[in-house]
Structure 1
């Protein structure tokens, strides 16, 4: 069963709708004791990374999240929360994955926010992207991105610059796009994530 970390900063409705379509069982995590009920976890998020981080601090869930050994998936801002720091509000984040979250620069001459469908060039050997073509399209809505780093990037996307559209460190995964809004490829990714808890295969990236 999937536990959704609820801290008031995620688009829970669309995520729950996707899990319902896929007939995947889920519940909400409100406190540290709730983690024991689930096999894997999703951290959703939309909006401002600094605000989301403060809300997550207010729930007192951060110490428990950092210690998790089961699969964790951060989506959009939920992915950015896994990084060290965000330029958005000069915000210190969880530091679970040692990467930086940066603003798309005006010098890149791209429209910000990055909104719509874009290609995701994934590592086909990573279990999160099993049975997903390595240049599939996913749906993005974001102004900030996580830097590309070959040690932790498991999928990359081009938008004026190459950035991490998916990252991993041990049992922690993050995707910048919204799989719940990305059609067949997105649904396959969610199913793959749910399967990780059953297979106990995390394919450590470093």
Structure 2
């Protein structure tokens, strides 16, 4: 069972619909107990980093996410990926979950529109369980104005938009996609399927 975490800052139903389409058992988790009972977790997210962290705190989900991520797979999507890092400078400095070393900073793409929105291809740096069956230069759908600043050791895939942008990050049982796999067609669904296989192990 994968818990899609509902904390009031995520487009969670598109993720749930994708899991339903794949036949992956899932539920919407609105409390710590449901997260603890699940075999894996997906943290979606849209909006601003400080607001999202505040909502996680209000629902008492910060400590449970950090604890459960040491025991079972966690996938952060878009803003949910950014929340995995130590901090963000969006609207001032805000602490994140600290599950992956690094910080969230604005995209500096000279002469390119911000947000980075649309289809862009992946360059595979360090293959991982999520990239199984995914070819180099596979296109995924992005919508974001900030990016992770982290060491290469934690970057499985990156994309380029005026600069290198971490697209798929990974540390231990924790994964994060800056793109939306649930909105990225067959290849995105393949990645969600790969994550579901991790959960089943």
The alignment's TM-score, normalised by the length of structure 1, stands at 0.92
Spell out, residue by residue over 1:20-47, the C-alpha distance to the aligned partner (whole angstroms, 9 max, x if none). 2111111122222112321110000001
SS at match of 1:160: coil
The answer to whether the Cα contact below 8 Å between 1:167 and 1:174 also exists between their aligned partners in 2 is yes
Q: Counterparts of 2:36 and 2:65 in 1: how far apart (Å)?
A: 12
Could you say which residue in structure 2 is the equivalent of 1:189?
191
Could you say which residue in structure 1 is the equivalent of 2:12?
12
SS at match of 2:80: helix
The ranges of structure 1 where at least 4 consecutive aligned residues each deviate by more than 2 angstroms after the TM superposition are: 122-125
SS at match of 1:8: coil
Q: Counterparts of 1:168 and 1:175 in 2: how far apart (Å)?
A: 9
SS at match of 2:152: coil
The answer to whether the Cα contact below 8 Å between 1:124 and 1:133 also exists between their aligned partners in 2 is no
Q: Counterparts of 2:64 and 2:25 in 1: how far apart (Å)?
A: 22
For residue 123 of structure 1, report the CA deviation from its aligned partner.
4.5
Mind listing any 5+ residue stretches in structure 1 that lack a counterpart? 200-206
Could you say which residue in structure 2 is the equivalent of 1:204?
none
Q: Counterparts of 1:92 and 1:148 in 2: how far apart (Å)?
A: 15
For residue 65 of structure 1, report the CA deviation from its aligned partner.
0.6
The alignment's TM-score, normalised by the length of structure 2, stands at 0.94
Match of 1:142 among 132, 144, 164: 144
SS at match of 1:16: helix
Q: Counterparts of 2:47 and 2:144 in 1: how far apart (Å)?
A: 9
Aligned Cα root-mean-square deviation (Å): 1.3
SS at match of 1:7: coil
The answer to whether the Cα contact below 8 Å between 1:166 and 1:176 also exists between their aligned partners in 2 is yes
Spell out, residue by residue over 1:101-147, the C-alpha distance to the aligned partner (whole angstroms, 9 max, x if none). 111136x2221000000001124731111101122000000000112
For residue 84 of structure 1, report the CA deviation from its aligned partner.
1.0
- Which segment drifts farther, 25-34 or 178-187? 25-34
